[in-house]
Amino acid sequence: MNFLAIFKLTIPVMMGYIPLGMAFGLLLSKLLIPWYYAFFMSAFIFAGSGQFLVLTLFASQATILEIGIATFLLNLRHTFYGLSMISTFKNFSWKKHYLIFGLTDETFALLKTTEVPESNRENAYLLITFLNQCYWILGSVVGAMLGNILPFNYEGIEFSLTALFVVLSIELYKKNRLHKPFFVALIIGLFGMILFPPQKMLILSLCAAAFVLIVFKRSMENGK
């Protein structure tokens, strides 16, 4: 896959990450934190909701211990992503640590649905992850520096991430041999969205999904 093809794949993420990153940078500057910390956070943490959480905790003067625990719990969902990447990353070189580091919701989504010939898979994955992180860093730094004075009304552009997840769900549904997990996830997601508190919705729903997937393995594999 050449650069252009990979860049095209990451455009939806760019459309989401730049405005979202800007929202993050804007919030950071509202807390009177110098702009270069936006760069450090996006370069070294690289977790959308995780970084927003840290800012929220900064605002409420949380201790570093509290910040650690909250980040860990919020990002625990990434463990599920890694679980479905073990064999994919298995024969990659040491560079896979960057792939693991960069395994955000959106990067995971792209890696899982991109068909790349095995010969240059590692490089393609690295480039996807790197481009995504560049968008995120760019957005957050620009947001922190000049979020307030941008003329364009980009309200709602973050919906591209929702649309990305919708499209990738359809792609994975077509690729997956079993279709029952899709419908189970629809039900869990819907109820999770209504019943669970928003900050814990993702991890609780993912645990419920893993639970159902494992406990009802036999009936999942029965029929189609």
Which residues, numbered 164-223, are part of the site for other proteins (CB under 8 A)?
164-173, 176-178, 181-182, 184-186, 188-190, 192-193, 198, 201-202, 205-206, 209-210, 213-214, 217, 220
Which tokens sit at 136? 């995120």
From the list 12, 21, 25, 147, which residue makes contact with other proteins (rule: CB under 8 A)? 12
Query: Residues in contact with other proteins, total (CB under 8 A)?
Result: 90
Which tokens sit at 176? 């997956």
Residue 4 binding other proteins, by CB under 8 A: no
Residue 86 binding other proteins, by CB under 8 A: yes
Contact letters for other proteins, residues 38-77 (x by CB under 8 A)? --xx--xxxx--xx--x--xx-----x--xx--xx--xxx
Q: Closest Cα partner for 85 from 63, 68, 69, 109?
A: 109
C-alpha angle 75/215/72, rounded to 5°? Answer: 10
Residues 93-112 that bind other proteins (CB under 8 A): 97, 100-101, 103, 105, 108-109, 112
Q: Closest Cα partner for 102 from 71, 134, 76?
A: 134
Q: Can you tell me the distance from the alpha carbon of 56 to that of 51, in angstroms, rounded to the nearest whole number? A: 9
DSSP state of 164: H
